[in-house]
């Protein structure tokens, strides 16, 4: 892949980042979600380029924007879940609701100086495009995808798989998927990549891992560090939900691990 193609891919991702920038500043949930997805697509390309030439990396201000927006989005999703739990905002536990909203406001105060104009995006785009390589070989592209699958395999080898390990699986699968999508599967010798699932399988596995991540986020906001700050009557309301969701999360995790081990079964045995 020559520099012209690589520049086109990066420009396309920045066009998407610019498109949702005002929505980010306004804390629009859909804009935040879409912006973060496009950031991860850009990050995958930069990670690929970084392996060939270590001097290129995501600008710190862009990383900070992504991280802070993620904190806001997680809490927005928790507010959305409460609609499912309680049916209407009038039935939300007031102290718990205020606690989540205060945290959103705190992170919004950090995000707004970054998004009040598009300087962060303009500077980041110039920095990254000016640092791009003259080309990235097809061999190194395929090697990058292969290494993402190796990382997943190494995690599946572990006897005990922490939640964070499964989150890492998702990151590696998404990086592989984003690179394949950006370049096109027709331009990759997929037969040279061991254990590469079909595009549909890759998408489904990443989606299931994403659903599990959402369950983990739910449990985080029902952890003792939150519930212990609430009045007793709200603990009584939320504690049974915590117990229920923990059981659902455990079942989902076991099912997820099983499906990943089946998907990568041949690939896992290759390294044994």
Q: What are phi and psi of 111, to 5 degrees?
A: -75, -40
Note whether 18 and 121 are within 8 A (CB).
yes
Q: What is the DSSP letter of 189?
A: -
* pLDDT at res. 268: 58
Burial per residue of 232-257, b for 16 or more beta-carbon CB atoms within 10 angstroms, e otherwise? eebbebbeeebeebeeebeebbeebb
161 Cβ neighbours under 8 A, 6+ residues apart: 155, 253, 257
* pLDDT at res. 53: 65
Judged by DSSP in three states, 135 sits in strand
Alpha-carbon gap, residue 131 to 195, rounded angstroms: 32
* pLDDT at res. 248: 97
* List of the chain residues with pLDDT < 50: 271-272
Runs of H (alpha helix) within the chain: 3-19, 21-25, 29-52, 60-86, 94-115, 119-130, 138-157, 163-183, 199-220, 224-227, 232-263, 265-270
Could you tell me the residue ranges of all domains in the chain? Answer: 1-136, 137-272
pTM score of the predicted model? 0.92
């Amino acid at each position: 892949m020559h520099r012209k193609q690589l520049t086109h891919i990066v420009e396309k991702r920045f066009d998407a980042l610019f498109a949702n920038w005002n929505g980010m500043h306004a804390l629009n949930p859909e804009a935040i979600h879409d912006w973060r997805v496009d950031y991860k697509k850009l990050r995958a390309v930069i990670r690929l380029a970084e392996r060939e030439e270590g001097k290129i990396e995501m600008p710190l201000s862009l990383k900070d924007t992504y991280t802070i927006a993620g904190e806001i989005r997680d809490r927005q999703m928790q507010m959305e879940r409460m609609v499912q739990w309680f049916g209407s905002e009038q039935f939300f536990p007031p102290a718990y609701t205020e606690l989540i909203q205060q945290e959103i406001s705190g992170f919004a105060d950090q995000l707004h100086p970054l998004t009040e104009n598009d300087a962060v995006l303009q500077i980041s785009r110039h920095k990254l495009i000016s640092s791009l390589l003259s080309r990235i070989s097809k061999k190194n592209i395929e090697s990058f995808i292969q290494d993402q699958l190796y990382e997943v395999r190494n995690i599946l080898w572990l006897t005990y798989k922490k939640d964070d390990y499964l989150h890492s699986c998702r990151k590696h699968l998404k990086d592989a998927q984003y690179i394949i999508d950006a370049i096109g599967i027709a331009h990759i010798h997929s037969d040279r990549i061991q254990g590469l699932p079909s595009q549909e399988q890759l998408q489904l596995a990443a989606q299931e891992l994403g659903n599990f991540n959402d369950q983990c986020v739910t449990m985080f906001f029902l952890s003792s560090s939150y519930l212990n700050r609430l009045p007793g009557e709200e603990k009584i309301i939320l504690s049974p939900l915590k117990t229920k969701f923990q059981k659902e999360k455990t079942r989902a995790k076991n099912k997820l691990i099983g499906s990943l081990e089946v998907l990568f079964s041949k690939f896992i045995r290759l390294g044994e």
